[in-house]
Amino acid sequence: MSGHSKWANIKSKKGVKDKARGTLFSKLSRVITLAVLEGGGIVDPENNIKLRLAVEKAKEGNMPKENIQRAIERGVGPNKDQIKEVIYEGFGPGGVALILLTTTNNPKRTLTEIRNVMECYGGKLGVQGSVNYLFKRCGLVVFEKNKVKEDDVFGFGDKIKAFDIEDDQQLFSVYFPFENLGHVNQYLGGIEARPAEIDYKPLNYITVNDKGQANRVINLVVALEELDDVHKVFANFDIPEEFLK
């Protein structure tokens, strides 16, 4: 997955459908609730950075306000949800490294579901720390080229202390230190951008040079993304363009 936009391009060219609306809202809801829980019950997005990021992502997905509010409320009070984030690490075909972010109230169930998918598609789970060192936890802001000026994007990158800016045909993807997430809106000013998010950027990429293996890797990641408890998958693979035709 060479960069943020690469996976979107792969899915588009391979005809992979996005998650159903109801499934997407369910995943977004749990991320919002988790942000409230991890933030000590703080329900004001301006004072809870993870909640702010989660709410902005939900709004980008056209999640109704009442759904967002219900998700926030599930993180407070005597009947608050007992969910937590669990990070799993593993390997795909060809030694591709995988990091899976999950929100779950039953880690044993989540582990079983992930292991079953891994075994079905030629992957395997790793122990904690087995692939984490191959990624850099950071912040990410994506700009659509038809809505911004290049100078503004690079100016934002300078302010946020970006360590990488990827440039493809349609998007600028700006990667910056995780600790600067709270300054995104301040540095953006009036520049239009997609909601900031937490990212695990590969330090190096594995090029998959076999078409059959490339398809197995793609199918594995898609299957993992479709699991209810999995809300984000990061991987360090790159696939030649000719394999996507």
The CATH number of the domain where 178 resides is what? 3.30.70.980
User: How many domains does the chain contain in total?
Assistant: 2
CATH assignment at residue 65: 1.10.10.200
Distance CA 49, CA 31 (A): 13
> Per the structure block, which two tokens stand in for 104?
């779950």
> Is 136 in contact with 201 (CB distance < 8 Å)?
yes
Same domain, 98 and 65: no
Residues whose CB falls within 8 Å of the CB of residue 8, separated by 6 or more in sequence, listed in order:
none
* Cα torsion angle, 47, 51, 57, 61, sign: negative
Residues whose CB falls within 8 Å of the CB of residue 240, separated by 6 or more in sequence, listed in order:
207, 208, 209, 214
Same domain, 106 and 38: no
Same domain, 120 and 141: yes
Residues of the chain predicted below pLDDT 50: 1-2
The pLDDT score that the predictor gives to residue 187 is 96
Q: Residue 23's domain spans which residues? A: 15-73
Amino acid at 40: G
Distance CA 157, CA 172 (A): 10
Distance CA 26, CA 8 (A): 21
Q: How far is CA 228 from the centre of its chain?
A: 14
Same domain, 49 and 161: no
Same domain, 107 and 218: yes
The pLDDT score that the predictor gives to residue 2 is 41
Element (H, E) at 180: none
Q: What is the pLDDT of residues 128-168, one digit of tens each?
A: 999 999 999 999 999 999 999 999 999 999 999 999 999 88
Residue 7 domain-assigned? no
Same domain, 184 and 67: no
Query: In angstroms, what CA-CA distances link 65 with 20, 29, 70, 72?
Result: 19, 11, 9, 11
Helix (H, G, I), strand (E, B) or coil at 124: strand
